[in-house]
């Protein structure tokens, strides 16, 4: 259904959630404002956006080493206080994020981290694909923008479906804990290591092994 910019703005003012999150909540709620607020609150988004500007300088560096020591991840996840960083819920979140990175191999933390030249290259590929399939020129840009969403879902940690629960994204997973503990939580950086990566050798699907180990 069509959701007006006016309703999206109204929901954002009431909840502090991001524009796209508000629009998606209104679509899911079929335009019902109160139901959309409930949806955002359940995802932790109603409060997460307001907390996102607060300094998160505490936190921990988590790790995940896959069975056999062939694949490993280091990830820095920040919060606002050492008290929160030492909590069982926060440490469980960091462990889940590290396992997810091992399994899904994101390239960036957030979509804002994708270099402009990478986005331009992707857009050009999508445009050429659209032209090659005979799409009218006046809708090619729109098609390319739509396909960029799929690129973000593949390449960006926050936009990926959480490997242990594909009904939510990693961003949703983080925001759920933001709503519980009342602190800003941010993934700052990560590194994923795979033995022999880049070398000529018989390939093994370690990422698939991790996903299988997580019950996927």
Give me the pLDDT at residue 196, please: 83
Give me the pLDDT at residue 75, please: 97
Q: Give the confidence band of 34 by pLDDT, cuts at 50, 70, 90.
A: confident
Instruction: Enumerate residues 6+ apart whose C-beta is below 8 A from 106.
Output: 155, 156, 157, 160, 190
If DSSP codes are grouped into helix, strand and coil, which group holds residue 70? coil
Q: Read off the DSSP letter of residue 72.
A: E
Q: Where are the domains of the chain?
A: 5-51, 58-111+156-213, 115-153
Give me the pLDDT at residue 164, please: 95
Residue 202 has pLDDT above 60, yes or no: no
pTM of the predicted protein model: 0.68
- The residue among 160, 168, 178, 184 whose CA lies nearest residue 44 is 178
Q: Note the pLDDT tens digit of each residue in 142-175.
A: 888 888 889 999 999 999 999 999 999 999 999 8
Paired tokens of 66: 């896959």
Give me the pLDDT at residue 60, please: 96
Give me the pLDDT at residue 126, please: 87
To the nearest whole percent, how much of the chain has pLDDT over 90? 41
Alpha helix (H) residue ranges in the chain: 5-15, 19-28, 33-42, 45-51, 82-85, 88-104, 116-132, 140-155, 170-181, 206-213
To the nearest whole percent, how much of the chain has pLDDT over 70? 84
Candidate from 34-43, 58-67, 89-98 with smallest mean pLDDT = 34-43
Q: Which CATH superfamily is domain 5-51 in?
A: Ubiquitin-associated (UBA) domain (1.10.8.10)
Q: Note the pLDDT tens digit of each residue in 116-150.
A: 999 989 988 988 888 887 788 788 888 888 888 89
Fold of the domain spanning 115-153: GTP Cyclohydrolase I; Chain A, domain 1 (1.10.286)
Q: Give the confidence band of 22 by pLDDT, cuts at 50, 70, 90.
A: confident
Fold of the domain spanning 58-111+156-213: Tetrahydropterin Synthase; Chain A (3.30.479)
Q: Give the confidence band of 98 by pLDDT, cuts at 50, 70, 90.
A: very high
Residue 56 has pLDDT above 90, yes or no: no
Q: Give the confidence band of 201 by pLDDT, cuts at 50, 70, 90.
A: low
- The residue among 59, 54, 51 whose CA lies nearest residue 16 is 51
């Amino acid at each position: 259904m069509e959701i007006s910019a006016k309703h999206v703005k109204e929901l954002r003012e009431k909840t502090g959630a991001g524009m796209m999150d508000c629009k998606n909540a209104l679509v899911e709620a079929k335009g019902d404002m109160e139901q959309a607020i409930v949806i955002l609150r359940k995802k932790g988004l109603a409060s997460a956006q307001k907390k996102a500007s607060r300094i998160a300088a505490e936190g921990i560096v988590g790790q995940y080493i896959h069975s056999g020591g062939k694949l490993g991840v280091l990830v820095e996840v920040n919060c606002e206080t050492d008290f929160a960083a030492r909590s069982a819920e926060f440490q469980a979140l960091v462990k889940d994020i590290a396992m997810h990175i091992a399994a899904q191999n994101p390239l960036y933390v957030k979509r804002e981290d994708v270099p402009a030249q990478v986005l331009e290259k992707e857009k050009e590929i999508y445009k050429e694909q659209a032209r090659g399939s005979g799409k009218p020129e006046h809708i090619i840009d729109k098609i390319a923008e739509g396909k960029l969403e799929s690129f973000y879902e593949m390449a960006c940690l926050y936009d990926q479906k959480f490997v242990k629960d594909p009904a939510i994204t990693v961003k949703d997973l983080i925001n759920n804990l933001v709503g519980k503990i009342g602190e800003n939580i941010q993934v700052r950086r990560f590194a994923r290591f795979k033995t022999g990566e880049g070398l000529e050798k018989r390939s093994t699907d370690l990422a698939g092994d991790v996903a299988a180990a997580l019950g996927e």
